[in-house]
Amino acid sequence: MTAAPESASDSADIPGISEAADPVAVQRHTVRVLMSAQVAAGVGIGSMISSGGILIEHLTGSEAVAGLGTTLTTLGAALLSVPLATLSRARGRRAGLGTGWLVAAAGALTVLLAAGADLPPLVLLGMLLIGAGTASNLQSRYAATDLAAPRSRARALSLVVWSTTVGSVLGPNLSGPGAALARVLGVPDAAGPFVFSLVAFCTGAAIVHLRLRPDPLLLAARNAAETSGDAVARARFRTRMSGALRHVSASPSALTGLTALVLGHAVMVSVMTMTPIHLAHHGASLSVVGFTVSLHIAGMYGLSPLVGRLTDRIGRVPVILLGQVVYVAATLLAGTAGSRRWAVTAGLLLLGIGWSCATVAGSTLLSESVDAGHRAEVQGLSDTLMNLVGAAGGALSGGLVAAAGYGGLNAAAAVLVLPVSAAALYFALRKPERH
């Protein structure tokens, strides 16, 4: 009974949080700061996406090993998501997000040094650490909702997601300048973009450390303790994580949303991982590869507000199914492209749009299908599973290309559309969606 006042007092004493802090004003400031940090950190992720696989293939001479770069980055995001979330809960968003981007910066530096010394294992270690940047990027969207009113929560989240577009689209187009910089540094051309990743991650960490004051999560915890006295719920967070999957399994709608999120992410990661390698094998320059990846990322994030509006207008399940149709078109176009670069580029753009449909609609369906008491751990579970399955898709993609070619990889990815479509149709026919 005495825990709530004590928690309120503790959070009130934290630097950067005053008794007079206005949650509405702080929320507006928080969204602006998060958008700025996402633009910077997005450059860090985008810079290495188009060049990571090419760098690994250059160092190892193996097309199959080339896919490990994206795989390890995705795996790193899965492994570090929960520790960073735990740190955020204990010390605030500044600590959690900032630490993730600093770990990613250390990963980019490791890649640069290892590439110069021709040490592929250390390059792979650096790619694993860069996954912390992906984890922080994903958790930023939740930070945007800490103080948001229910009627504006989706808008705040979508703004932070959309802001990722700027940096993520700019990043891959730095491949050309990165190659020139690499020659000055005496490292392989494909390692040059990691210089921009290093600077970008450090910039994102600096923005949240210096400007994310007061901390939105700590302020939200203080306000919750003052208004409801519910400080015990925060302490139960870790113990409830183990029951998140069981909670999702009990809800057909939540399970449909989670299936769309996880398998849709696997389709996107597996095809995207080997596309830069495929283009390079057909004579595409780093600039062309970077442009293709930029359009893909624009499809993923740039249309998210429009996809969100469509999801609210026609329903969650129809947009999930629309995403599966787009996935089939993307894999068919890219898989049959051969050396036609425009077809590969168009396929990657559609792949990004399909991911946006599956992710926005799937996330919305999942979140609204579980009660508020389980929502946080269910969202954490979805991010972890997305990254784990994505890592598996990336790991298998190199072997599939080596065995069946780029077309075979796209065909295998298209098969994952079937269980998502079956789950969505079953749910729609079993219980029509209501709003």
Measure the CA–CA gap between 367 and 148, rounded to whole angstroms.
Answer: 16
pLDDT tens profile 349-363:
999 999 989 988 888
Q: What is the mean pLDDT of the chain?
A: 79
Residues of the chain with CATH 1.20.1250.20: 22-213, 240-435
Q: Which CATH number applies to 22-213?
A: 1.20.1250.20
Q: Residue 266 is encoded by which pair of tokens?
A: 């696997």
CATH T-level assignment (fold) for domain 240-435: Growth Hormone; Chain: A; (1.20.1250)
pLDDT at 151 over 70: no
Q: What is the pLDDT of residue 269?
A: 86
- Mean pLDDT, to the nearest integer, of 230-258? 64
Q: What is the pLDDT of residue 433?
A: 46
pLDDT tens profile 161-193:
788 777 767 776 777 788 888 888 888 888 888
pLDDT grade for 249, boundaries at 50, 70 and 90: confident
Q: What is the pLDDT of residue 352?
A: 92
- Which has the closest alpha carbon to 198: 84, 65, 41, 66? 41
User: Which range in 16-30, 101-115, 250-264, 294-308 is most confidently predicted, on average pLDDT?
Assistant: 101-115
pLDDT tens profile 255-312:
888 899 899 989 998 888 888 878 877 777 767 777 787 788 788 888 888 887 788 7
**Cα Rg, the chain, nearest whole Å:** 21
pLDDT at 328 over 70: yes
pLDDT at 432 over 60: no
Query: Counting beta carbons within 10 angstroms of the beta carbon of residue 95, is it exposed (0 to 12), middle (13 to 18) or buried (19 or more)?
Result: buried
pLDDT grade for 375, boundaries at 50, 70 and 90: low
Query: Cβ distance 357 to 319 under 8 Å?
Result: yes
Q: What is the pLDDT of residue 133?
A: 92
Neighbours of 192 (CB within 10 A): 27
Higher pLDDT, 370 or 108: 108
